[in-house]
Structure 1
Amino acid sequence: MSVITAENISKKYIIDHKRSKGSSSIRDWFSDTYDNLFQARKENTFKEKEEFWALRDVNFKIEQGDRVGIVGHNGAGKSTLLKILSRITNPTTGQVQINGRVASLLEVGTGFHPELTGRENIFLNGAILGMNKEEIRKSFDAIVDFAGVEKFLDTPVKRYSSGMYVRLGFAIAAHLEPEIMIIDEVLAVGDAEFQKKCLGKMRDVSESGRTILFVSHNLTAIQALCNKAFFFEKGTLVDQGDTTHIVTTYLSKVSHKNLVRQWDDIESAPGNEQVKIKSFQLLPDYQDNLRHIDVRTPMQLQFEFWNLEEDSTLNLSMHLYSYTGECIFNVGTPSQSFSRGLVTGSCEIPGHFLNDGSYVISMMIVKDTSTVLYNMEEAISFDIEDFREGVTWYGKWPGYIRPQLNFSISQTEPVVND
């Protein structure tokens, strides 16, 4: 049974480029005076108001029990969609049909009255969902315990921190048993422990047959929690379907990678009178028929260059950097003598070694172990995506490397019952 049906929904906003009269400064006054006196003829050439379509002709159906992840760049229309589904704003065109009670957590403080206490806001939100006092009381203790705000329960929520707002908002949305639960990226406000609790609770909610819509840039969490996904781009629903397929499609479009550099003509190849670069490429051994690199993916780095001198003692030095400039490691080949001609080198980067993130590789050709003949900076760039199994925590895994080490745990002495 379809619990949400969207038919040709679009949302238009009007962007006003004209300065507000109430916020004018002396400089603005002189600028406006000049415009009024000398620019009147050009007034028709500048648009003070501009139409912006946050969503355009979006169609989909969501079945009962679906767990739908929504991915896309910032500004793709994801949050606008959730506001329409939550009845916070109406679509400009099209219509949405929703069958069931909806609980939303879209922004810090959404649905709270700042002058009311935490206790009063719990009952207010329950009433908005159509629940009576007895139904709310049954879940009250669980909400307070999950949110961890017992000490501040009778304090007006306007004095809450953003973290307390989010904890209480999520606890209310998750425990008052709505048929449809809508969660935006607002979970990123919470700390690591809270995110873990939220993701675990969302898993429990999904297993109870309720419908979840989840917007997040954490693709690992979306893959773990959601059976379907939507990919939005510039207000358009680009693709929808199986989560793995959608995430792979999304990553293939947003990945900033340059895995191959090649020059067939020695004359135009980069280098100097001593060496010239022929090719430099990173060859991933993609896992599970995917087309993106994740933390499991083994890679081979292959490098070719022309040596233009006789009897040169050379070696290669490879530097791997994070996108923020930290050198993760530097490795080099043994140094050996080469005659004129083509020289090749390769390096294996195993899977389960680098953490998810963005990386660049630079390569040096070194003579006599000390003289750099040529430094090819940032020759290769690539992204590594996250992948996890058997783990319920989907926050950022710390560090630049993520090796699989022989790390064990065991029971050394059983408990003896008296």
Structure 2
Amino acid sequence: MTRVIGLISGTSADGIDAALVEIGGGTADLRVECLRAATYPYPPELRSRILAVCGGEPLSVAELVALDDAIAREFARAALAIQDPTRPAEAIGSHGQTVYHRPPDSGAEMPLGCSVQLGRGEAIAYQTGIPTVSNFRAADLAAGGEGAPLVPAVDAHLLRHPAEYRCIQNLGGIGNVTALPPGKRGESEPVRGWDTGPGNALLDLAVEYLSGGQQTYDRDGAWAAAGTPDTELVERWLKHPFFRTPPPKSTGREVFGPDYLRECLQDAESRHLTPADLLATLTELTAASVADSYRRFVPRQPDRVLLCGGGSHNRYLRSRLERLFAPIPIQTTTEMGVDGDFKEAIAFAVLAYWRLLGIPGNLPAVTGASRSVLLGNISPPPRPA
């Protein structure tokens, strides 16, 4: 069994999720056990810089390099902190911090997509002394894919059921789904996956704005639960072209970020919504966009929906999903044996493991890539002098 550390900071940029994972086998016989996991928050100043860049703030090349180094330093610290000192990990799989994502556009002068993750693997390998796999999205993008989502290939191994049609719904900064028809674990066909739309990022932006910077998120969805969703406004927002675009598709803060929130705030003001009503309406948009996406693009309605990511702890959001999906049961991946808070960190440990074995990690049916490819660049640690 190989010990690999998986690292990721999602679209919400609230910290680095780290998982120490023991992995064995290849594809058909993959074995995965998460030994320990933790979240390491960014220093507040660094998080503010990251969010500013994600929001479109311009940087000089020197400032970009400095930010890249600062993020790598925090990722290296997280890797060292999650280590088992009695048996160090043999590899790191680091997703990094996404600061820009542009999906492919066949009508553009440059049709290939582009995705930028900061926290370079070479710096992490140098600071930890552990071989590091990073820059996972580049190879899929070069093959004409979206570069996202990449986790469905791992979901097929960890959560597929022989009799149930399952949808694994991640509620991170951006929502994404893995649609898993019944089958043997590890079978990748006909697994599908795509981004469903806004998740926590839009809600967090709204909470920070409405609280004057005093809050960064709505704990348990309590603020939103005090309001009433404006369903007419939700229906209007669901007419956004992204929701009607068929998969493969991916998105990010570039679409559902500060500019989009400003439009939502204008709509809310014109309809005289209170802050609680606005949060309830934005939460309803997240829930409704998930349900709408399933109706449009999942070949059949699932037997079970399994939530993961930070949004799975939002009780109000979960209650709205339960209402929209009834009588389909809504549970979490944690209840199925895969920690919902660290599933993506676990997944990037597995993707790094596959890269080291020379096993392709993308699913062309999910990302739209022209072929299966090896994901990630391998950065060896410096040799001792």
Q: TM-score, normalised by structure 1?
A: 0.24
Q: Greater relative contact order (Cα 8 A, min sep 6): structure 1 or 2? A: 2
Larger gyration radius, structure 1 or structure 2:
1
Task: Pick the structure with more helix per residue.
Answer: 2
TM-score, normalization by structure 2: 0.26
Q: Which has the higher strand share?
A: 1
